[in-house]
Each structure stands twice: as structure tokens, then as C-alpha cells.
Amino acid sequence: MQKPKIATASLAGCFGCHMSLLDIDDRILKLIDLVDFDKSPVDDIKEFTGRCLVGLIEGGCCNEENVRVLQEFRKHCDILISVGDCAIDGGLPALRNGIPLKECLTEAYITGPTVYNPSGKIPSDSEIPLLLDRIYPCHEVVKIDYYLPGCPPPADTLWQALTALLSGKPIDLPYELIKYD
């Protein structure tokens, strides 16, 4: 029988959540026994090869590229999980949410005290995805089925959640594994 597939992505995140996934240590071998990894930075597969059981999303949406990837994940995954605070509430990047985009970019590229930018312009290249007006938590863009909070979520949280899902059980985290930091 074919193994179920898992896909992962890091949107506006710091890869901390992916590090936490690797932090399940030797259990990663068991995980490989249970599943195949599809599109993911873990195996560097860039495009979906087929339908996935689970998609793990790290980070919220800060630009149009994030939105595109997230929507693609929604299309390809039966179960989509927001992993980590950034995916759930925007996290650190969402500190810009109260500030108009123009002000953010002006400070970042022109007026900031450490900026060296003789052109005096905000960079604009068609290769650079356009920023959104603010950070959007993933569930504001697509339907999310589960949330695993933490910055990053403890490795045990990820392990327990995945093994529960793979055995068709509901995710039921003990007290010590629900963390927002």
C-alpha cells in the first residue's frame, strides 16, 4: 500500500518550526516509515507530485507568493495545519500590521538609520513578490483544519499531532504541549 504523503512549507516564518520538526530526533526515521514527504524544503521537492494527506504550514502570509503557495497547499492537502505562532497569528512579522505599507518600506529602504541606499528608491523588481498590506494569518486566507501553536511548537507536539492524524485519531495534546512561546 502506498504511504500517505506529507507536504510542508515555510511562508513568512523563520524556519524555526521546520527545525522543531527535525527536533523529533530519531523519531524522524519512524516518520519516514509512515509517510512520504512531497513538496517540502526538507527534501527540496518544489512542486506537488500528487495529493497529500497532511500539509504543514509555517509562517503567515506577508506577500502574494505566500498566498499562492498557501492556496496551492489547500488544493493538494486533505488536512492543512497551521504550525507555529506566525502561521496562526502572524507572529513577529505582524508587528508591522498597524503601520501602512508605504511607511514600512520607506523606513526599511530609505530613511532607516542603518540604511545605505544611494538610489533613494524602494526596490521593485518583477522577481520580488509584492507585499500584502499586512500579514494575514493562514486561516484568513484558506480554511485550516488544525492549529499547533508555539514559537516554535515543541517537537513532541508535532510528533504527537502527526502520529495521531496518521492513525486516524483526533489530536489531543496534553497540558505541557500547548505552548504559545
Partner 1 sequence: MNEKTVTFIVDGKEIKARPEQTIMKACDEAGVYIPRLCAFKDLSPFGSCRVCTVKVNGRPQAACTQPVGEGIVVESQTAEIQQIRRNIIDMLFVEGNHFCMFCEKSGNCELQAMAYRLGILAPKFPYMFPVRGVDASHPDIFIDWNRCILCARCIRTSCEIDGKNAYGFIGRGPHKRVATNSSAGLKGTDADVSDKAPANCPVGSLMYKRIGYAVPIGCRLYDKNPIGSDIEMKKTT
Partner 2 sequence: MTAYNETIVKDICRRFGNERSRMMDVVKEVQTSFGHVPNEAMDAIARALSCPRVEVQSLVSFYAFLTERPKGNIIIRLCDDVIDRMQGFDRIADAFKEELGIGIGETTTDGKITLEATPCIGMCDQAPAALINDVIVTNLTKDAAREIVAGLREHGDPQRLVKRLGDGNNAHELVRAMVVNNVRRKGDVIFGEGKPSDGLKNALAMSPVEVIRAVKTSRLRGRGGAGFPTGIKWEFTRAAKDETRYVICNADEGEPGTFKDRVILTEKADLLFEGMTIAGYAIGAQAGILYLRAEYVYLRPYLEHALAERRKSGLLGNKILGHAGFNYDIRIQMGAGAYICGEETSLISSAEGFRGDPKTRPPFPAQKGYMGHPSAVNNVETLCCVTRILERGAGWYAQMGSNGTSGTKLLSVSGDCKIPGVYEIPFGITLKEFLAMAGAEDAAAVQVGGPSGQMVGPAEFNRIICYDDLATGGAIMVFGPQRDLLWVVSRFMEFFVEESCGYCTPCRVGNVLLRRKIEEVRAGKCDPAAIAYLEDLGQTVKIASRCGLGQTSANPVLTTLKNFRPLYTARMKENEAGMQMTFDISAAVRDAEIIAGRKSANF
Q: Is 111 in the site for partner 2 (CB under 8 A)?
A: no
Query: Phi and psi at residue 153, in whole multiples of 5°?
Result: -65, 145
* Structure letter (DSSP) for residue 57: E
Q: Which of partner 2, partner 1, ligand FES, none lies near 117, with the C-beta cut-off 5 to 8 A by kind?
A: none
C-alpha cell belonging to residue 42: 526538507
The binder of partner 1 chosen from 36, 65, 72, 89 (CB under 8 A): 89
CB nearer partner 2, residue 8 or residue 157:
8
Distances (CA, A) of 151 to 36, 93, 116: 26, 13, 32
**Minimum CB–partner distance for residue 173 and partner 1 (Å):** 8
Write out the binding residues for ligand FES, residues 87-126 only, by CB under 6 A: 91
Torsion over CA: 19, 21, 25, 28 (sign): negative
CB nearer partner 2, residue 27 or residue 139:
139
5-10 β-sheet, strand order: 36-37, 5-10, 52-58, 77-83, 146-148
CB nearer ligand FES, residue 31 or residue 151:
151
Q: Is 92 in the site for partner 1 (CB under 8 A)?
A: yes
**Cis status of the peptide bond prior to 152, with omega within 30 of 0:** yes
Cell 512561546, located at residue: 181
Q: Is 13 in the site for ligand FES (CB under 6 A)?
A: yes
Nearest to 61 by CA among 82, 43, 44: 82
**Minimum CB–partner distance for residue 90 and ligand FES (Å):** 9
Rg (CA), the chain: 18
Which region among 14-22, 32-40, 58-66, 88-96 touches partner 2 (by CB under 8 A)? 58-66
Interface residues toward partner 1, by CB under 8 A: 82, 85, 88-92, 94-95, 97-98, 134, 137, 139-140, 146-149, 151, 173, 175-176, 178-181
